[in-house]
C-alpha cells in the first residue's frame, strides 16, 4: 500500500497546524476546554482507528479535578501507571487487592475508554515475598500461573489489551536475567501468554519493551522470538513499543518499518508509553525536538496499519516519573505541570487531524 513508506506531507501538516492553532496561545484555561478548532485528541483520533491513550496515576485521578477532566476529555484509552502491577495486586501471597485498579476500570467504562492492562510479568515492582523467596521451578510456575489467571480472570471482558510480558530482553538481544528466566527458563514467556489467553480469550496479548521502537539488536531478538512463538501457535497478539525517548539521543531507526515487520507476522502493534524527556532547563530548540519526537512516533503508528493505539506515559509533567529516575531531566510530557498544552500536544493534534482523512480503518 502506498501509504506505508510515505511520510506525512510536512508542508500540508505545517499548514494544517497553523490553521488548527490560530489564536491558541497556551493558557491553563484554554487547555481544559477544547482547543479553538473544537476537537480533543480523542475526537481527532477517532477517524484514524488508532486509540489515543494515557497512563493514569490513580491518586491524581482521585485528587486532582483538572487531571481527571483531561483524562476523560482527551483520551479514549487508559493504562494504569502502577496499580495493576504485581506488588499492588498481590502484596502478600494469594491475597489479591484490585481496589485501585477496579476504580480505574470503572472510570474508563464511564468515559467510554478502553483499558490497556499493565503489566503481568515484569522483573520490577514485584512484592518482596516473591522476590526474596526461594522457589523451586514447580513452585514458581504455579505462582506465576495463579497470578496471571487470577488477575486476567478478574478483569475478563473489561481489559482490552494486556502487556503480558514486559522488558524481557537486554539491549544486546539476550534474555534478561530475572527470577522467571533463572527459575523457569525461557519457556516462561510462552506459558505466560497461554495462561493469559485461557483467562480471557478475547483480550489482545502484547509483548512490551523499551528501546525496541526502531530496528536494532533488541528488536531483532524480539522479532526472532515472537516469530517462533507465532509459528508454535502461542497466543501472542501484539508488539508494544514503549517509546521513552530523550531529546539528547537520535530518533529510533526506521520505526515504521520495524512496526511493519511485526504487523506482517499477523500481530497488532502499539506505542504504549510515549514520552520525550529533556535535559533541563528547556530551550526552545529542545521543545521543538520534543515535539518532533512525539510526532515521529505517532506518525510511524499512523502509517502502519497494524498499529492500534498510541499511549502517552502520563500527559502532565506534574506527575512524571522522569525527574525521579533521570536527575536533571524532565519536562517529558505533552502538558506542563500547570496544564498548559505544549508544542508536542499540538503536534499530536495536527498529525491525528491530517491522518484522520487518509488512514484506512482497520477495525
Ligand atoms: O508503592 C509505594 C507507595 O507505597 C509509596 O507511598 C510511594 C511513595 O513514594 O512510593 C510507591 O512506589 C512508587 C510507585 O512508582 C508508585 O508511585 C515507587 O517508589 C516508584 O519507583 C514507582 O515508579 C514507577 C516505575 O514504573 C517503577 O519502575 C513509575 O511510577 C512508573 O511510571 C514506571 O513505569 C514504567 C513502566 O511500568 C514500564 N516501562 C518503564 C516505565 C518508566 O519507568
pLDDT tens digits for 155-195? 999 999 999 999 999 999 999 999 999 999 999 999 999 99
**The ligand 1 atom nearest the CA atom of 166:** 38
**The ligand 1 atom nearest the CA atom of 325:** 43
pLDDT for the residue 356: 85
pLDDT for the residue 362: 52
- Whether 273 lines ligand 1, by a CB cut-off of 6 Å, is yes
**The ligand 1 atom nearest the CA atom of 59:** 17
- Ligand 1 geometric centre to CA of 331 (Å): 18
- Ligand 1 geometric centre to CA of 82 (Å): 6
pLDDT for the residue 32: 39
User: What torsion do the CA atoms of 79, 80, 82, 83 make, to the nearest 10 degrees?
Assistant: -150
- Ligand 1 geometric centre to CA of 59 (Å): 12
Q: What is the pTM of this model?
A: 0.91
- Whether 321 lines ligand 1, by a CB cut-off of 6 Å, is yes
Grid coordinates in use for 113?
475508554
- Whether 124 lines ligand 1, by a CB cut-off of 6 Å, is yes
Q: Which of 86, 321, 324 to mutate to test the pocket of ligand 1 (most atoms within 8 A of CB)?
A: 321
- Whether 339 lines ligand 1, by a CB cut-off of 6 Å, is no
pLDDT for the residue 38: 76
- Whether 81 lines ligand 1, by a CB cut-off of 6 Å, is yes
Residues annotated catalytic, as ranges: 167, 273
Whose alpha carbon is nearest atom 20 of ligand 1?
321
- Whether 128 lines ligand 1, by a CB cut-off of 6 Å, is no
For each of the domains in the chain, give its residue range(s) and CATH number, in order of start: 11-358 (3.20.20.80)
- Residues in the chain with pLDDT values less than 70: 1-37, 359-363
- Whether 139 lines ligand 1, by a CB cut-off of 6 Å, is no
- Ligand 1 geometric centre to CA of 124 (Å): 9
Q: Which of 62, 86, 125, 178 to mutate to test the pocket of ligand 1 (most atoms within 8 A of CB)?
A: 125
Asked if 241 and 280 count as a contact pair (C-beta separation under 8 A), the reply is no
pLDDT for the residue 360: 56
Amino acid at each position: 500500500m502506498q501509504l506505508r513508506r510515505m511520510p506525512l506531507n510536512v508542508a500540508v501538516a505545517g499548514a494544517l497546524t497553523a490553521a488548527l492553532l490560530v489564536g491558541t496561545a497556551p493558557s491553563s484555561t484554554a487547555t481544559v476546554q477544547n482547543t479553538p478548532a473544537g476537537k480533543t485528541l480523542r475526537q481527532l483520533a477517532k477517524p484514524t482507528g488508532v486509540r489515543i491513550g494515557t497512563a493514569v496515576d490513580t491518586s491524581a485521578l482521585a485528587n486532582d479535578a483538572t487531571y481527571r477532566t483531561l483524562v476523560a476529555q482527551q483520551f479514549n484509552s487508559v493504562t494504569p501507571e502502577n496499580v495493576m502491577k504485581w506488588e499492588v495486586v498481590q502484596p502478600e501471597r494469594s491475597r489479591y487487592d484490585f481496589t485501585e485498579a477496579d476504580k480505574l476500570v470503572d472510570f474508563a467504562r464511564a468515559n467510554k475508554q478502553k483499558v490497556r492492562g499493565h503489566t503481568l510479568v515484569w522483573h520490577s515492582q514485584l512484592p518482596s515475598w516473591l522476590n526474596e523467596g526461594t522457589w523451586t521451578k514447580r513452585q514458581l510456575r504455579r505462582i506465576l500461573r495463579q497470578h496471571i489467571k487470577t488477575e486476567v480472570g478478574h478483569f475478563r471482558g473489561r481489559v482490552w489489551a494486556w502487556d503480558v510480558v514486559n522488558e524481557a530482553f537486554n539491549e544486546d538481544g539476550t534474555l534478561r536475567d530475572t527470577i522467571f528466566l533463572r527459575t523457569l527458563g525461557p519457556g516462561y514467556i510462552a506459558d505466560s501468554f497461554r495462561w493469559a489467553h485461557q483467562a480471557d480469550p478475547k483480550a489482545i496479548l502484547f509483548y512490551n519493551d523499551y528501546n525496541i521502537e526502531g530496528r536494532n539488536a533488541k528488536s531483532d531478538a524480539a522479532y526472532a522470538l515472537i516469530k517462533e512463538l507465532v509459528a508454535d501457535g502461542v497466543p501472542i497478539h501484539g508488539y508494544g513499543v514503549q517509546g521513552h525517548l530523550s531529546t539528547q539521543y537520535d530518533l529510533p531507526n526506521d520505526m515504521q518499518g520495524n512496526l511493519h515487520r511485526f504487523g506482517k507476522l499477523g500481530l497488532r502493534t502499539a506505542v504504549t508509553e510515549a514520552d520525550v524527556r529533556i535535559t533541563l532547563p528547556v530551550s526552545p530548540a529542545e521543545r521543538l525536538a520534543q515535539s518532533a519526537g512525539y510526532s515521529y512516533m505517532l506518525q510511524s503508528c499512523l502509517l502502519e496499519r497494524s498499529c492500534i493505539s498510541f499511549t502517552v506515559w502520563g500527559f502532565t509533567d506534574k506527575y512524571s516519573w522522569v525527574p525521579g529516575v533521570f536527575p536533571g531531566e524532565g519536562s517529558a510530557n505533552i502538558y506542563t505541570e500547570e496544564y498548559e498544552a505544549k508544542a508536542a500536544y499540538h503536534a499530536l493534534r495536527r498529525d491525528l487531524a491530517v491522518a484522520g482523512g487518509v488512514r484506512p480503518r482497520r477495525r
